[in-house]
């Protein structure tokens, strides 16, 4: 009681946030019981019929849900690999620029797409990638003389477009953390290497890259916890019924089945499946990041 008296102000400060979290985070967590029901909105949670694990059984029997889980993994893993490697290489190249103003100029332009939403970028991409006169196909046809490519309408091209456009949007922003790591490398290492006559390539291989590996491991490990988030905003704003088979991911599938088709119990079951796996992955990745690099969120 003594501590409560001393710290009442702290509790009062946390109260508003806590109320918000209870209403918008913790109460919905309780709602996952719907995953074990044949939920009908007009009957509510108390009135709906309990069906045990039927929704989950159904989840692993349905062809489309298996496909969706697979799509999610494929798209997310490819994004993880490229969103790690492209910024890594790009920051090395950026680091070689000697003129400060030029470096700033490049940085300014490559960071920008990160801040634009997928609605804006989706609108732009749909326009420039279209087969009837989109600027990309105009260039491809005009310069290389090939058939127009149906980027957003053919399954494998769709996946390709999703990965490339995501890398395009995020690679610049991804360099921030690597550039910070580059700036922290001890200059005397390079001076010593210069005296020994090491070429720039040798310096990069033996000094720069090894110094960046730890931060790359942290970034990669933390991204691992996110691997079931394959990018709802992006997919939702780029896809169409032609590419559901290769492009549908868990989050977009939940929206379509639960909200649009009203299969609420089933939708909750997939959502719960995703939340549980994600939580396990996040806990593992944080554990690893802490172990390898002493990384803590706070």
By CB under 8 A, which span of 56-64, 71-79, 142-150, 289-297 interacts with other proteins?
289-297
Find the shortest distance in angstroms from Cβ 186 to other proteins.
18
Q: What own/partner pairs with CB < 8 Å and gap ≥ 24 does 273-278 have?
A: 273/56, 273/59, 274/228, 274/250, 275/32, 277/228, 278/225, 278/226, 278/228, 278/229
Q: Return the range that interacts with other proteins (CB under 8 A); candidates 60-68, 72-80, 152-160, 169-177.
A: 169-177
Question: Which of these ranges, 53-61, 77-85, 148-156, 269-277, lies near other proteins under the rule CB under 8 A?
Answer: 269-277
Please identify, using beta-carbon distances, which residue of 61 and 296 lies nearer to other proteins: 296
CB 92 within 8 A of CB 171: no
Q: Is 152 in the site for other proteins (CB under 8 A)?
A: no
- Sign of the Cα pseudo-torsion (210, 213, 214, 215, in order): positive
> Taking CB under 8 A as the criterion, which residues in 82-141 touch other proteins?
90, 93-94, 96-98, 102, 105-106, 108-113, 115-117, 119-128, 132-133, 135, 138
Interaction of residue 267 with other proteins, rule CB under 8 A = yes
Structure tokens at 246: 């290769």
H-run or E-run covering 221: helix 209-224
Question: 141: which DSSP letter?
Answer: I
- Tokens for 23, please give them: 């209403």
210 binds other proteins (CB under 8 A): no
> Does residue 160 interact with other proteins by CB under 8 A?
no
Q: Which of 75, 212, 223, 272 binds other proteins (CB under 8 A)?
A: 272
Q: Smallest distance from the beta carbon of 9 to other proteins, in angstroms?
A: 4
Separation of alpha carbons 12 and 215, rounded Å: 38
Nearest-angstrom CA–CA distance, 241 and 132: 19
Give the x-and-dash track for 245-264 against other proteins (CB under 8 A). Answer: ------x--xx--xx----x
Give the pair of three-digit tokens for residue 130: 């279209």
Please count the residues of this chain forming the interface with other proteins, following the rule CB under 8 A. Answer: 94
Q: For residues 45-74, which are near other proteins according to CB under 8 A?
A: none
Nearest approach, Cβ of 294 to other proteins (angstroms)?
7
Q: Which helix (H) or strand (E) holds 157?
A: helix 155-183
């Amino acid at each position: 009681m003594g501590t409560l008296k001393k710290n009442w102000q702290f509790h009062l400060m946390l109260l508003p946030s806590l109320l918000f979290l209870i209403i918008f985070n913790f109460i919905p967590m309780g709602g996952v019981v719907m995953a074990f029901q044949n939920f009908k909105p007009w009957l509510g949670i108390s009135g709906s019929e309990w069906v045990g694990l039927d929704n989950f059984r159904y989840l692993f029997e349905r062809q489309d849900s298996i496909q969706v889980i697979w799509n999610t993994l494929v798209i997310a893993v490819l994004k993880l690999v490229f969103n790690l490697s492209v910024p890594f290489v790009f920051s090395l190249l950026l680091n070689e620029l000697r003129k400060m103003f030029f470096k700033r100029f490049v940085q300014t332009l490559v960071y920008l797409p990160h801040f634009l939403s997928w609605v804006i970028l989706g609108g732009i991409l749909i326009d420039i990638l279209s087969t009837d006169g989109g600027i990309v196909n105009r260039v491809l046809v005009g310069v290389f003389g090939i058939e127009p490519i149906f980027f957003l309408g053919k399954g494998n091209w769709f996946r390709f477009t999703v990965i490339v456009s995501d890398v395009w949007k995020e690679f610049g922003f991804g360099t921030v953390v690597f550039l910070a790591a580059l700036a922290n490398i001890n200059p005397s290492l390079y001076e010593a290497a210069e005296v020994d006559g090491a070429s720039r390539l040798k310096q990069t291989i033996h000094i720069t890259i090894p110094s960046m590996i730890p931060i790359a491991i942290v970034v990669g490990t933390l991204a691992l916890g996110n691997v079931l988030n394959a990018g709802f905003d992006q997919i939702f704003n780029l896809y169409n019924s032609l590419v559901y088979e290769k492009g549908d991911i868990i989050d977009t599938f939940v929206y379509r089945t639960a909200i649009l088709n009203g299969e609420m119990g089933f939708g909750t079951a997939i959502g719960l499946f995703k939340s549980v796996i994600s939580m396990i992955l996040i806990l593992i990745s944080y554990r690893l990041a802490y172990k390898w690099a002493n990384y803590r969120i706070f």
